Structure 1
Amino acid sequence: MTTVFVKGLGLIGSTLIRAIRQQHPQYRIVGSDISTATLDFAIEQGLIDDAGTNLYQADQADFIILAGPVSAIVKDLHDLARLELKPGVIITDVGSTKQTIIDAAQTLIER
């Protein structure tokens, strides 16, 4: 089963989840957010199948989408570099700037 991990369930993250859910209802979607109320709402609405904070279950994902502020994305990339991720995992972001994120992603690329 394909697993998608989305960190940040704000406007952009939740919109992506809705699009994924519509096109691929069989995918397992794990959501992560700092707000437990947001996570509870996403589960109640059927947007996500499982919820957690930080990088909960990111190591099991086939796709990782980072949808937080750029500073959080940079931290997440450094944290992801310390995890044993699935081979072939695709990691992407929706950050507003790229050079800072690309620089931070080097730790993943160099593994």
Structure 2
Amino acid sequence: MLYEQKFFLSLLLTLIIEILLVLFLVKYLFKQKEIKIFKIVFAGFIASTLTLPYFWFILPIYISSRGLYIYLGEILIVFTEAIIYNQFLELKFSRAFTASLVANIISIIFGLIIL
């Protein structure tokens, strides 16, 4: 499979997993009933589509060590997505960070299993 094909498969998988997880966390765990489902889905879509291309195509140019690239990349993604959730959904940063961290950990696990 071509690298670009793996990227699009990864993006699709990431979008499905992370949006569903963030939706669940915000609505049921954090009990933020006033935040509309569309807004959560939109925030999840924006977060993943803005961060994943950088992880796949930009960071590898600057970081040659695969382990360091994955470690730093995931840290940057978690913080960036937490900021997006904090701003778009008006969540406390601690909740936005938790949502981002949980969604990314589960997404990574599924990605390793499926891809």
* TM-score, scaled relative to structure 1: 0.29
Between 1 and 2, higher relative CO (CA 8 Å, sep ≥ 6) is seen in 2
TM score, norm. by length of structure 2: 0.29
Going by fraction, where is strand more abundant, 1 or 2?
1
